[in-house]
Copies of this chain bind each other. A is one copy, B any other.
Amino acid sequence: MNRQELISLIRQRQSFLCVGLDVDKKKMPAHLAEAEDGVFLFNKAIIDATIDYTVAYKPNLAFYEAMGIEGLVQLKKTMDYLHSIDKPAFTIADAKRGDIGNTSQQYAKAFLDPAGDFNFDALTIAPYMGADSVQPFTVFDNKWVILLALTSNKGAFDFQFLPVEGDKKLFEKVLDTSKQWGNKENMMYVVGATKADMLTQVRAIVPDSFLLVPGVGAQGGSLEEVCRYGLTRDCGLLVNSSRGIIYASNGPDFAERAAEEASKLQQQMAAALQQ
């Protein structure tokens, strides 16, 4: 999905919500946790219930890998389902990969290649290894790198805020340098909602780029603040919620409750888009 298609989808659904499919058998309804293909069936029910309020889905690879090879089979079924339905959605492999050039090429093939098992639109990438660890992900048409800039966790303060050039902080240097590797058509950035007050600094460096914003909900970030500092004329935001939606209930009403939570966020987003 290219930038223009993503912007159109956001306008059409009046939403910039991304639903994080971080599936954990301990937290999902027991009847599905024990069922054959239960993880896929859980995801399918969540997708069916939320897609009218949502423009993107973001499975975090860790949760699938933790289930072993069977977890990846469930992820593939989920992706096949998303590709089969007539309502489009932007798909993000939250995988936080990145390695030397010839190895990043292999990761790009694994996640973004249209001929591969998954065929995601985008992949999250850690910046520590620099240019050649990031650039191989920009070779596929209409596919995206989502580079970690400022993450939502406490550990973000260990390195990301270190001053590296005068007053410039490491995350600002990462944003700055990355503009040599990609552009607003193939690169987005992770900026945690828990650090929404930093969005002004982020926007000073990447005024038009899309930002993937995790941390609203369970991690404590505020949607209102994210919109205040992060929204652009083209929206420019994908705001993720995982646990707050997919585990709104662990009873038989889990999909209905997920729809309610997604719908609430969508209404707030529609209001923000109209301002």
Number of copies: 2
| CB–CB B153/A162 < 8 A | no
A163: chain B residues at CB < 8 Å are 164
| CB–CB A155/B132 < 8 A | yes
Q: CA separation between A113 and B148, bound complex, in Å?
A: 27
Q: CA separation between A107 and B22, bound complex, in Å?
A: 12
Residue of chain B at shortest CB distance from A108:
B66
Tell me whether A140 is interfacial, beta carbon within 8 Å.
no
Q: Interface stretch among A9-17, A123-131, A251-259?
A: A123-131
Asked, given contacts A117-B69, A131-B154, whether A126 binds B173 with beta carbons under 8 Å apart, the answer is no
A101: chain B residues at CB < 8 Å are 153, 155
Tell me whether A63 is interfacial, beta carbon within 8 Å.
yes
Asked, given contacts A60-B103, A130-B159, whether A109 binds B66 with beta carbons under 8 Å apart, the answer is yes
| CB–CB A133/B106 < 8 A | no
What residues make up the interface of A, taking CB atoms closer than 8 Å to B?
A: 22, 24, 60, 62-63, 65-66, 68-69, 72-73, 76, 94, 96-101, 103-104, 106-107, 109-111, 116-118, 126-134, 148, 151-160, 162-165, 170, 173-174, 177, 219
